[in-house]
Structures are given as structure tokens and as C-alpha cells.
Chains A and B, each alone.
Chain A
């Protein structure tokens, strides 16, 4: 490791010993690997889901499809059918194909959540860093407003706003983004403050560097990694939040499918033992659990510091 060549030293036999063992690369354990595989799987579904779906998400399947050969029942039930060769994951309350709707819905659910998380980061990191580097007054004002927003139950906040402004996808994304920006703000601010008092930022300040340079060259690169890990966690919360909203009926327009409202609309099937409400719920769970497993694995390597921040 150490390769100093000190011509001036009396002997070169005793090299300066390294301070610490070289940093270990992040190596994922098997739950982490499974997590990555599942996340990649869903990413592919987002890309090609609609093309491989056997039916369209809006298709209400014809009764003829379900006629059992030899039976004289002309109008067999099409709703809440168990998985079969016609409908691989069963049919929903209207007689639509659950599999197709999950494949179509992946794009809606994951897409909305992802964009909302990105938005939350854009807002939260910008304001959080502004708060960390800005004046005491700016920090105080931003923090208090943030505290106030945090104190409002997020579902309630969304509910009031959607009731006020109508249920559209852009609004859903905007609201979710704002709601989750509050916690991103706290993390970005504390990370920013941590870096802000470090010697290398002082060094840049003594050099006379401008604020913009300090933020982009000194602060951002140093908080990027913890923020990236937190992004995963936040993404999970956002998926759950968006699902809860659509479960409460504040979501996308029919016949578009999203996983949360699929659970909601098929809930009556539960008492008949239908798998229709379980399948989308499982889709949500596989994705969120996987992301969490990856994050857990990574943060286990960074000494659980992340867990400490999860509180915010």
C-alpha cells in the first residue's frame, strides 16, 4: 500500500505503515443479491410489461373464454376466477386478467413513485443544502416550515390537497414529492452541515472559493453516497404511500391499473378466497422488500449510520 520513497531517511527498510486497512468494497450478501434480482426484474417489467401482457389492462374478458367444454352453462362467471390457463393469476372483480393488470400497473405504480421520489430529492436536497450553507435565519425559517409540514400527517395532507385540486397523476407526484421532500430535507441538511464544518470545506473557504463551488465540488460529492442509499429507503416509503393513497381511492383514472387500487377494488374477493387482491399486494411487497434488503445490506457495511438517520 504505502509506496513512499524517502531518500532522506537513514534507511528505506521501514516504510511508513498505512493508517488503516484499505476500504473494503461493498459486497452484497444473498438477501441483497436476491433484492437486486427482483428490482431488475421489475425494472424490466416497467419497460416491457404492456407488450408481454396477455390482455390489455382495460379488457373485460368475454364469457365465452370461460365456458367449460361440454358444459351447457352459457354464461359462466368471469369475475374472481382462480388462476387457470386463460388467466394465469386469476381474474379480478370485473373479469379482467390480473396478470395483465399487474404488468400494466407496474409502469404506473413504479413510475409515479420513482418520479415523486426524484422530485422529493430535488426539492429536499436543494433546500436542505441551502439551509446547511445559508444564513442562520434562512436555516431557522426553512427548518421551522419543514417541521410544521412534518407534523401534518402525510395522508391527511394529501387528502386535503387532492380534495382541493382534483385527483390527477401530476398532482399526485407533486404532493408526494413535497411530502417526502421534508424528510429528505432533514437528511440533506444534517449531512450538509456535517460536511460544511469539515476542514476541507474550510480550506476551500480560506482559498476564497464561492458558495456554488463549495456546494457542487465539496459538499455534493461527499453526501452523494449516503443520499443514494437513503433514496432507496425513501423510494420504498413513497411506493407504500402512493399505494395507500390509491387504496383510499385517490389515484389514477380507470381503466389504468395501479397496484394499490387493484388491492382496494378486489378486496371483496377476499371473502371468496380469491387471489385477486393478494397478487398486486404481493407485487408491492416483493418490490419494497427487495429494495429494503439491498439498502439494509449496504448500510450494514457503512456501520449502521444510516439507521440512525432513518428516524428523520
Chain B
């Protein structure tokens, strides 16, 4: 819209103030949320990056098990620290494309069992040591060692060996073909550290150096003046902490105690914006869902699952619980955020209590128990709404609320009905194969389909976009009708920050643009 551009220009030049800008956008029929982001980009237009200043970042979870060791990372705060301190071999860009980071380039053999990485020259660790092949090999071997505590150990189950070819060349041999290996190497756990590092503080090559670290409290970081690339590094210092309580976290931002907070809830957006803070809402494939185990009762009953699909008031969930910061789910993980692989032709599953009632009656059940933990922003609310709606049609859904801790070990993939949340993966294929592939580690509905296996394999090799789309459509249809997953919504990645801080990317793979904001953002004024 031309008008919008004009107003952005006017705002940047100081002809209109913030309130007038938002009012004008309202007059143009643009929703407040969109207007807010337009305002953000207007600011981005207005200011060129400036050097200096420091920020305080508050994540949603921390504790005594916070770690600087990349392979142990399990939470946003660990990933954020890893991205601040270290680099990986390969990185993923906002458009989900893969690019070399510490690997200048890489090559793969035909059956995807051998990879060769060229290590970048002239990179040095924070303690001054130069980066060489043996550092890469040592770092990667930590994932495959016996009894390795790596949280992504299983990603590398097919690794035979990492081998030094020369000082700057590393060769990886796999026992089975794996085209997704480069994607796995973008994980924050797969960062490269200096060989034989004992003390993680100086073991990275990343944009910021750790000054202080107290598990469960905070860490502080200062600019790495010998960084190997120029990505800005605008900030002088970064402080990373967490505030577990969501209200306290929000209050901290509002009170100016911190500059960035992760994982805000959609309900807090109104308050944040009306208080002059900025919201970063990045559409994503991230979703919350309900798993019905197909290998056990009652999930093996197709009518029951169908009934539960039809009782989801998806529109209301997105409207009320997500306040519009998300998209309606269609019981498969691949939403619009996956771009071309999303199947827009697939009809949307409606909210239909009558049909639901029909299927539930047919299922023979009048009562089931669902385990709920607050694993995803709106999942509890969604289940409560489902419960209330089921009550109206005479079906008793019992909710068993359990804490998040221990949930993934004790409940998920164990109790017949449970809730789940999945982060977005770089590709639709990666997402589908992790959760529904024949050999998927985390086939959390225990649904096995040979057809799915064939499609996953073929689609990887298929180069024709139309055919590929067709295959993906078929997979999405299969999952949404036959598997045990119910996906009522996909939620945007929601974070909030002080409007003085700018330069965030909209990579949907993690908080604040995939946790890797440290070297890009800057603070004005």
C-alpha cells in the first residue's frame, strides 16, 4: 500500500508521532498488530545501526542446570548463549537456506554417506588459539562418544567417523545415507569448541566473549574484538538471564529492568503495546497439539480421534487464546510458514459439534483422560475449551494436569492421550520424517504408514516443484486423517523488547529470530 509507505516515511522524518501513525493505520483498516510491525519497520528504516550500549535479555526458563557446554543445551537460554559464544559449521538463514559458517564450504557424495568440510582459515578462539580441523573433530566426537550426554546424540547415531584430511579439511563418514546431515549441523548443540576445552568461557569463536556465568542466575558477555566476520556486533555488552514467572517477566520489561523478554503470551500483547514496548511476532510452524497413541486404546479408535478433531473450535483458539498471533491448524504440522510445501488445497477441518457427537457416540466412549502440561502457550486453554465443548455434547473429557518437568520422559509417548508441542524444522521433509517417518525417533502417535515412508524418500529426491507439492499434499492429508495427531493451532513466535532495540531477523526457528540475535541487533538513543 502506497499510503502505508508514505506514512512510514513521515514517521521516520518526524512529521507524525507514534500515536498518529497508529491512528492513521487504523483509518486505513490495518489491524493494530500489523500496524505495530509496520511501525517497527518504519523505525528500522529511520535508524541506521549504531554501535554501543548493552542489553539485558530475559529468557523464560533457567536453573542450576544452565550450561555453557553446547552439547548439553536444552533450553532457549542455553541456545541463546551458544549462539552468542560459539559458531557452528553450518548456519541457516531466514529463508531456511543453508550456508557455511565455520565451514567455508562442504560437499557430499552421491548416496549422501560422505561429507567433506573445508574449515575457514584465520578464525581464532576467544583464548587466541586458531581454529583447525582437530577442534572440529574433537567437538563433533563429543556427540558420539560412549555415554555422551549430548542432547542430540541420536542425530549422529549413523556417524562412523570424523576424520582429519588436512589441517583445514574434515571428512565425515556415515553408515547410512543422510541428506539432512547439514541441517543437523545447524543445531545449537553442534557448535564448535576448542579441542580439550575444560573451561567453556574462552572456548568459542563467536561474536561475544563470556565475562561471567552463574547457572540459574545470569551470564554477561562482551564484544569479541577479534571476530572473524563483520556482522555488526553493535552492542558493547550483553547480559543473559531468565525470569521464570511470565508475569514477572513482563513486569520486568515494562519496568525497564530488562530489554528483551522471550515467550510472551498472546494475552500480554495488548498490555505490552499499550505500554510503549515492541512485540516481535514471527509466524512459524511451531504448534501445540494433542497426541492420540494409535497403538493403544482409546487412540486406536478412529471415531474417537475423528470426534476430537471435529470438536476443536480452532477459530476461537486462534482468535481468543492466541489473539490472532497464529494460524488455524489442520491436524498436520506443515502450515503456511513452510512456504511452497504447505498444501493449501487441503480443506480445513471445521468445528462441528454435531458430527463430533456422532463420531464419539459411534466410538463407544463417553469418557477419556488427557494428560496436560503447559508445554505450549495456549495448549492448556485449548484443552479446557475442548473439555467445555465436549461437556455440551455429553462427553466427559478428564484433564490430568501434570507439571512440565519430567513430562517428556514420563508422559509424552507413554500416556494414551497427551499434549505435545513441536518446534518448526528447517524443511517440511525434516519435520515430517522426525515425527511420522518410518524410522522416526519421535513417532509420538505410534502411527506407521508405508506410504508415508515412500513419499518422504521420494519427495527428497524430487526436483519438480509441482510434483513435489503433490507429494507433500498427500503426506499432509495422510497425517491429518490417519495419524493420531490433532493440531488445533500454529502459533507465532512471540517475544517482546524495548523499542530502542532493532535489527531482529524473522527466522522462525527459535525465539528472537532463531536465538541468534546477538551479532545483529543494535540499540538506539
Report the minimal beta-carbon distance from A69 to chain B, rounded to whole angstroms. 21
Contact of B267 among A58, A93, A163 (CB under 8 A): A93
CB contacts under 8 Å to A, within B390-428, are 391, 398-403
> Is the CB–CB distance between A167 and B401 below 8 Å?
yes
B384, CB-defined interface residue at 8 Å: yes
Find out whether the CB atom of B399 lies under 8 angstroms from the CB atom of A255: yes
Complex-state Cα separation, A95 to B384, whole angstroms: 11
Contact across chains for A253 and B401 when beta carbons are under 8 A apart:
yes
Q: B388 in the interface, Cβ–Cβ < 8 Å?
A: yes
* Cβ–Cβ < 8 Å partners of B270 in chain A: 272
Contact A79/B267 with A56-B391, A255-B387 known, Cβ cut-off 8 Å: yes
- Report B-chain residues with C-beta under 8 Å of the C-beta of A267: 247
Cβ contact within 8 Å between B384 and A255:
yes
Contact in complex: A268, B247 (CB < 8 Å): yes
Tell me if B399 and A253 are in contact (CB < 8 A). Answer: yes
Q: Is the CB of B403 within 8 A of A249?
A: yes
Is A94 close to B, CB under 8 A?
A: yes
Residue-by-residue, is A88-132 near B (CB-CB < 8 Å gives 1, otherwise 0)? Answer: 000001110000000000000000000000000000000000000
Nearest to A271 among chain B residues (CB) is B271
Contacts of B372 in A (CB 8 A): 254
Complex: A62 Cα to B395 Cα, angstroms: 18
CA distance A59 to B389 in the complex (A): 8
> Does A60 sit within 8 A of B, measured CB to CB?
yes
**A78 interfacial contact with B, CB 8 Å:** yes
A30 at the interface (CB under 8 A from B): no
Total number of residue pairs linking A and B with CB closer than 8 Å: 59
Q: Which residues of B contact A78 (CB under 8 A)?
A: 320
Count residues on chain B whose CB falls below 8 Å from chain A CBs.
29
Nearest-Cβ distance from residue B327 to partner chain A, whole angstroms: 17
Q: Are B384 and A59 in contact (CB under 8 A)?
A: no
Residues from chain B with a CB closer than 8 A to the CB of A79 are 267, 320
Any A CB within 8 A of the CB of B268: yes
Q: In the complex, which residues of chain B have a beta carbon less than 8 angstroms from the beta carbon of A93?
A: 267
B381 at the interface (CB under 8 A from A): yes
Contact with B along A241-258 (1 / 0, CB 8 A): 000000001000111000
Q: Is the CB of B384 within 8 A of A268?
A: no
- List of A residues within 8 angstroms of B453 by Cβ: none
Interface residues of A in 211-254 (CB under 8 A from B): 249, 253-254
A245 to chain B, nearest CB (A): 13
**B residues in contact with A200, CB < 8 Å:** none
Query: Which of these, B267, B387, B399, contacts A268 with CB under 8 Å?
Result: B267
Query: Nearest chain-A residue to B315 (Cβ)?
Result: A75
Which one of B372, B388, B400 has the greatest number of beta carbons of chain A within 10 Å? B388
Nearest CB of B to A246, in Å: 11
Interface centre among A77, A166, A254, A270 (most CB of B within 10 A): A254
Nearest CB of chain B from residue A146's CB, rounded to whole Å: 30
Complex: how many Å from CA A102 to CA B388?
A: 18
- When distances are taken between beta carbons in the complex, the residues of chain B under 8 Å from A163 are 403
* B 345-386 contacts with A by CB, 8 A: 372, 380-381, 383-385
Contact A58/B387 with A254-B399, A267-B247, A268-B246 known, Cβ cut-off 8 Å: yes
Contacts of A75 in B (CB 8 A): 319-320
Q: Taking the nearest CB of chain A, how far is it from the CB of B244, in angstroms?
A: 12
**Given A93-B267, A272-B271; A253-B384 close (CB under 8 Å):** no
Contact yes or no, A255 B271, CB < 8 A: no
A58–B398 Cα distance when bound, in Å, is 11
A60 touches B384 (CB 8 A): yes
Interchain CB contact under 8 A, B384 and A58? yes
Which of A56, A60, A77 is B385 in contact with, Cβ under 8 Å?
A60
Are B268 and A268 in contact, CB atoms less than 8 angstroms apart? yes
Bound Cα distance A56, B390 (Å): 14
Within 8 A of B (CB), among A48-95: 56, 58-60, 63, 75, 77-79, 93-95
Q: Could you say which of A58, A254, A270, A272 contacts B391, with CB atoms under 8 Å apart? A: A58
- Nearest-neighbour CB distance to chain B for A24, whole angstroms, equals 51
Instruction: Specify which chain A residues have a CB less than 8 angstroms from the CB of B268 in the assembled complex.
Output: 268
Taking CB atoms, residues of chain B closer than 8 Å to A254 are 372, 380, 383-384, 387, 399, 401
Q: How far is the CA of A95 from the CA of B381 in the complex (A)?
A: 10
The smallest C-beta distance from B415 to any residue of chain A, in angstroms, reads: 13
A255 B388 Cβ-Cβ under 8 A = yes
Minimum C-beta distance from A140 to chain B (A): 38
* Residues from chain A with Cβ under 8 Å of B246 in the complex: 268
Give chain B residues whose Cβ lies under 8 Å from the Cβ of A270: 247
Question: Is B320's CB under 8 angstroms from A95's CB?
Answer: yes
Q: Is the CB–CB distance between A253 and B400 below 8 Å?
A: yes
**A185 and B320 alpha carbons, distance in the complex (Å):** 51
B34 to chain A, nearest CB (A): 18
Residues of B near A167 (CB, < 8 A) are 401-403
Q: What is the bound-complex CA distance between A79 and B266, given in angstroms?
A: 13
Shortest Cβ distance from B403 into A: residue? A249
A: residues with CB less than 8 A from B are 56, 58-60, 63, 75, 77-79, 93-95, 163, 166-167, 249, 253-255, 267-268, 270-272
Where the two chains meet, the residues of B that have a C-beta atom closer than 8 Å to any C-beta of A are: 246-247, 250-251, 254, 265, 267-268, 270-271, 316, 319-320, 372, 380-381, 383-385, 387-389, 391, 398-403
Q: List 5 A-B pairs, Cβ < 8 Å.
A: A58-B388, A58-B391, A167-B403, A268-B268, A271-B271
Identify 9 new A-B residue pairs, CB closer than 8 A, beyond the known A163-B403, A254-B383, A271-B254: A59-B391, A60-B388, A79-B320, A166-B402, A254-B372, A254-B399, A255-B384, A270-B247, A271-B271
Q: Which 4 A-B pairs have the closest CB atoms?
A: A60-B388, A254-B399, A271-B271, A58-B388
